[in-house]
DNA sequence: GGCCATTTAGTTGTGCACAACTTAATTGTG
DNA sequence: CACAATTAAGTTGTGCACAACTAAATGGCC
């Protein structure tokens, strides 16, 4: 209302808007992280560790590589993270017999059992935010489009600005 | 389309949905970060450093405390970050004369001059994503509502689950 | 004035993200 | 078979986020 988006915005306007959108996404990500941090403390998991466990609960045991593809994380992030999960007794790492390069991440009984306690997490989050299924779906779609556009942009930047 | 959100979703459905929204926001944040990383490399700034500079360009020099309020970051994050900006010659830190506890972050000439080169950043980002002003504003509003809800939830969690 | 709670920065320790690199296993090719 | 290229995981180094803490300055209160 107060700030009408004129078609011909100045550079300064763009910079201000940039601050806003940058900040919004950054803040949203950290706020999200913060709420999960509280809820996940009971489970002894960090937010990224929870993401890994979600994938394992859904997909069964996977090599680190596949885990990374699901989460778009590389071994530099996953190796120590999975090692911490192993330290907590939630997963075990096993060298694949067929391909000795590959390490399969397998849920322990304890790790599999943790899923039961995790089932309440989404409801606690949803309840906390007051967002419904529709709104969550809508936001997700919005974010996925953004990510898709940004990924394509990243590729383009990498190619054109070598 | 394929996955119709039934009104009475099971715990497992919620967990799956949770994975999706968690992942979407996490991925969007990192994708955003990645595109900025490329664009900001020319300026010698990281993404959080860019956020600090945006605030300083917009607000003028500020004490660390105020900077933290604008960005929702505490001294644990800002102190070393600002020190790195000082190392790069973009800002200077000055103890306030009136209140010796306070440290004022002031742009150097070099830091102020960097704004000129930063003016092209938002356009490069916007062009890369293909998002228009409206869509950016819409997403921003969506994210801000989410952050607001999450912040309120964090407070509530902190109080109720002490 | 003396004392205590508050406020502002900064420090320390843990964990994540990512670039750049190393190591070891595998694959492809002559 | 030998050897180069590729692939998977791990390591190292830098920077950010945040909790918990310390140190110093300030303000309020008796």
Does A46 touch chain B if contact means CB atoms closer than 8 Å? no
Residue B9, number of CB atoms within 10 A of its CB: 15
Are A73 and A115 found together in one domain?
A: yes
User: Is B160 a residue whose pLDDT tops 50?
Assistant: no
Are A112 and A137 found together in one domain?
A: no
Give the CA-to-C1' distance from A127 to C11 in angstroms: 37
Does A117 touch chain B if contact means CB atoms closer than 8 Å? no
pLDDT (tens digit per residue) in B89-142:
999 999 999 999 999 999 999 999 999 999 988 888 877 777 777 887 888 888
The CATH number linked to B56 is 1.10.10.10
- For residues B20 and B113, the model is more confident at B113
For residue A100, what is the DSSP state?
T
CB-based contact A56:A91 (threshold 8 Å): yes
Average pLDDT across chain B, whole number = 86
How far, in Å, are A33, A49, A58, A108, B160 from residue A111 at the CA level? Answer: 22, 12, 13, 5, 28
Put simply, the answer to whether B36 touches A30 (Cβ < 8 Å) is no
pLDDT band at B8 (very low <50, low <70, confident <90, very high): low
Question: Near strand C (CB < 7 A), which residues?
Answer: A 46-49, 72-77, 80-81, 84, 98-101; B 26, 30, 33-34, 37, 63-66, 68, 74-76, 78-80, 82-83, 93, 99, 101-104
User: Residue B131: CB partners within 8 Å, gap ≥ 6?
Assistant: A146, A149, B139
Q: How many domains does chain A have?
A: 2
User: Is B5 a residue whose pLDDT tops 50?
Assistant: no
Residue A94 lies in a domain: yes
Average pLDDT across chain A, whole number = 85
Q: Which of B28, B35, B123 sits opposite A14 (nearest CB)?
A: B123
Residue B65 lies in a domain: yes
User: Is B10 a residue whose pLDDT tops 60?
Assistant: yes
Q: Which of A36, A118, A154 sits opposite B15 (nearest CB)?
A: A118
Does A123 touch chain B if contact means CB atoms closer than 8 Å? yes
pLDDT band at A5 (very low <50, low <70, confident <90, very high): very low
Put simply, the answer to whether B15 touches A121 (Cβ < 8 Å) is yes
Residue A5 lies in a domain: no
Residue A1 lies in a domain: no
Residue A79 class from Cβ within 10 Å (0-12 exposed, 13-18 middle, 19+ buried)?
middle
Put simply, the answer to whether A146 touches B28 (Cβ < 8 Å) is yes
Q: Quick one: which residue's CA is nearest to D7's C1'?
A: A101
Domain that holds residue A123: 23-130
Distance (Å, rounded) from C-alpha A32 to C-alpha B27? 13
Which residues on A lie below 8 Å from B21 (Cβ)?
136, 139-140
pLDDT band at A162 (very low <50, low <70, confident <90, very high): very low
- Give the DSSP H or E segment for A91: strand A91-95
User: Is A155 a residue whose pLDDT tops 70?
Assistant: no
pLDDT for residue B43: 95
Residue A9 lies in a domain: no
Residue B45 lies in a domain: yes
Are A143 and A99 found together in one domain?
A: no
Are A43 and A110 found together in one domain?
A: yes
Give the CA-to-C1' distance from A106 to C25 in angstroms: 21
Put simply, the answer to whether A140 touches B55 (Cβ < 8 Å) is no
Determine how β-strand A91-95 pairs with β-strand A103-107.
antiparallel
Residue A150 lies in a domain: yes
CA dihedral of residues A137, A133, B27, A162 (deg, nearest 10) = 10
Nearest-Cα distance to chain A for B81, in Å, is 16
Nearest to A124 by CA among A57, A24, A37: A37
User: Is A19 a residue whose pLDDT tops 80?
Assistant: no
pLDDT band at B157 (very low <50, low <70, confident <90, very high): low
Token pair, residue A161, equals 């600005």
Residue with tokens 């390490």: A103
pLDDT for residue B162: 30
Are A39 and A79 found together in one domain?
A: yes
Q: Which of B36, B58, B149 sits opposite A130 (nearest CB)?
A: B149
Are A106 and A40 found together in one domain?
A: yes
For residue A43, what is the DSSP state?
T
pLDDT (tens digit per residue) in A71-123:
999 999 999 999 999 999 999 999 999 999 999 999 999 999 999 999 988 88
Chain D: nucleotides below 7 Å from protein CB are 7-13, 15-20, 24-27
Distance (Å, rounded) from C-alpha B36 to C-alpha B28? 12
Distance (Å, rounded) from C-alpha B74 to C-alpha B66? 10
Q: For an interface test with A, which of B10, B131, B139 has the most A Cβ atoms less than 10 Å from its Cβ? A: B139
DSSP B38-105: HHHHTTT--HHHHHHHHHHHHH-SEEHHHHHHHHT--HHHHHHHHHHHHHTTSEEEEE-SS-TT-EEE
Residue A143 class from Cβ within 10 Å (0-12 exposed, 13-18 middle, 19+ buried)?
buried
Mean pLDDT of B13-21: 78
Residue A33 lies in a domain: yes
Mean pLDDT of A129-135: 78
DSSP, collapsed to helix, strand or coil, labels residue A13 as helix
């Amino acid at each position: 209302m107060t700030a009408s988006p004129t078609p011909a915005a100045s550079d300064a306007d763009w910079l201000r808007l940039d601050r806003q959108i940058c900040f919004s996404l950054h803040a949203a990500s950290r706020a999200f992280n913060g709420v999960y941090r509280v809820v996940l403390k009971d489970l002894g998991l960090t937010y990224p560790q929870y993401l890994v466990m979600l994938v394992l609960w859904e997909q069964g045991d996977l090599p680190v590589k596949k885990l990374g593809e699901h989460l778009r994380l590389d071994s530099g992030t996953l190796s120590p993270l999975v090692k911490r999960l192993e330290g907590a007794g939630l997963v075990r790492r096993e060298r694949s017999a067929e391909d000795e390069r590959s390490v399969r991440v397998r849920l322990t009984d304890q790790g599999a059992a943790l899923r039961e306690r995790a089932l309440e997490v989404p409801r606690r989050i949803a309840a906390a935010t007051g967002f419904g299924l529709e709104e969550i779906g809508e936001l997700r779609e919005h974010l996925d489009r953004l990510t898709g556009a940004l990924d394509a942009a990243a590729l383009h930047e990498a190619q054109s600005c070598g």
